[in-house]
């Protein structure tokens, strides 16, 4: 039962952290632009490395 309480506390903290981060990220100045640029950079990097990973897995099973 202690584990359930611990997981609930962690989930509550994650939800609260997300709300606080959204408030700060959508504040004044360049913060929204910086968050958008950061999200784009992370999405592109994740896509590139995902394609590279899929290519390497495919090359493992090719008959060359």
- Tens of pLDDT along 5-40? 888 999 999 999 988 888 887 887 888 888 889 999
Tell me how far apart the alpha carbons of residues 37 and 24 are, in angstroms, rounded to a whole number: 16
Q: Is the pTM of this model over 0.75?
A: no
Tell me how far apart the alpha carbons of residues 16 and 9 are, in angstroms, rounded to a whole number: 11
Show the 3-state SS of 45-63: HHHHHHHHHHHHHHHHCCC
Give yes or no for residue 46 having a pLDDT over 90: yes
- Structure tokens, 40: 């784009």
Boundaries of every domain in the chain: 2-60
Per-residue confidence at 4, pLDDT binned at 50, 70, 90?
Answer: confident
Name which of 25, 27, 22 is nearest 37 in CA terms.
Answer: 25
Tell me how far apart the alpha carbons of residues 10 and 26 are, in angstroms, rounded to a whole number: 24
Give yes or no for residue 48 having a pLDDT over 80: yes
């Amino acid at each position: 039962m202690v584990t359930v309480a611990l997981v609930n506390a962690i989930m509550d903290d994650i939800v609260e952290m997300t709300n606080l981060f959204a408030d700060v990220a959508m504040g004044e100045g360049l913060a929204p632009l910086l968050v958008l640029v950061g999200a784009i950079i992370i999405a592109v990097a994740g896509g590139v490395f995902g394609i590279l990973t899929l290519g390497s897995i495919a090359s493992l099973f090719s008959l060359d």
